[in-house]
Homo-oligomer: A and B are copies of this chain.
Amino acid sequence: MTAVGPRAREGGARGPAGNVPEGYDPHAFEPFAVTVDLAVFTVRGGALHALLIRRGQEPYAGAWALPGGFVLPRESAELAARRELAEETGLPDDVVAGLHLEQLRTYSEPDRDPRMRVVSVAYTALVPDLPEPRGGGDAAHAEWIAFGTRGQLAFDHADILADARERVGAKLEYTCLATSFCPPEFTLGELRQVYETVWGTALDRPNFRRKVLATPGFVEQVAGASRLTGGRGKPAALYRAGPATALHPPLLRPEGRQT
């Protein structure tokens, strides 16, 4: 079974990546399956949640797994991730099209799937607290699980989820992505809770407010609108996500780091 193609490098006709030697037969060697895995996060009730799916078959039957699926022959990995996201979350396609999807990393250990060689491109998505993921089709099996609640995850999905969580925490420091966790209109208190939940830290309210407002394009005030948040207290002004993507200067989490 050993591949003829991959080793064909004779005669200076070497194959740099993205390059196929002459006489290469696509079917001559054991193929790689290429899939996408999705680490979809939301903030719900002061806790970080991930979208997981209960597996119904071996291997890892009964375990939780990340949503995902195969990359189709004429699809980029990002498109596949977006398609799967729409299927699993039940969100309308146009909403999914506007979501921020970030490529996390590719997992390619030879034995990560016991059945065959599967190379998986992992993506991270941040979504607002949705009513419920039950949209139709695959979404029926998906559930929001509080981070760290469930035990073992299938395959290497625990690694992927941990990597994704770490990345999200770091991203909040120097990008405007926190607004992706919020509904279209939100208060600064809600935005602050996103940071506090992901970082597991309490932030100084006045200073947080100043920093956010001092970054041009991070948030834009919705004229005249306000909303009560905790039931009590002064109604808070409402804001929309602004056009900015980067955060200068960054919003650093206090104290080295805490998980």
Contact = CB atoms under 8 A, between A and B. Distances in A.
Contacts of A232: none
Contact of A68 (B18, B32, B57, B155): B18
A173 to B, nearest CB: 10
B15 A70 contact: yes
Contacts of A107: 18
A65 interface: yes
A156 interface: yes
Contact of A256 (B15, B19, B248): B248
A106 B77 contact: yes
B36 A30 contact: no
Question: Interface extent on A, as a size class?
Answer: 35 or more
Given A26-B30, A32-B71, A106-B106, A77 B119 contact: yes
Interface in A124-161: 138, 141, 154-157
A46 interface: no
Contacts of A33: 5, 20, 26, 32
A9 B31 CA distance: 20
**Assembly stoichiometry (copies):** 2
Interface stretch (A108-116, A183-191, A221-229): A108-116
Given A33-B26, A34-B34, A118 B16 contact: no
Given A19-B155, A157-B18, A57 B141 contact: no
Contacts of A20: 33, 113, 115-116, 118
Interface of A: 1-3, 5-7, 9, 12-20, 22, 24, 26-27, 29-38, 53, 55-57, 65-78, 103, 105-110, 112-113, 115-122, 138, 141, 154-157, 248, 256
A13 B57 contact: yes
Nearest 6 A/B pairs, CB to CB: A17-B68, A31-B31, A6-B70, A17-B37, A17-B35, A77-B108
A108 B37 contact: no
A65 B31 contact: no
Nearest to A52: B16
A70 B3 contact: yes
A66 B154 CA distance: 35
A115 B18 CA distance: 10
19 contacts: A6-B71, A6-B72, A6-B73, A9-B69, A9-B138, A12-B56, A12-B141, A15-B35, A15-B70, A16-B55, A17-B36, A18-B112, A19-B68, A20-B113, A31-B32, A32-B32, A71-B119, A74-B110, A76-B110
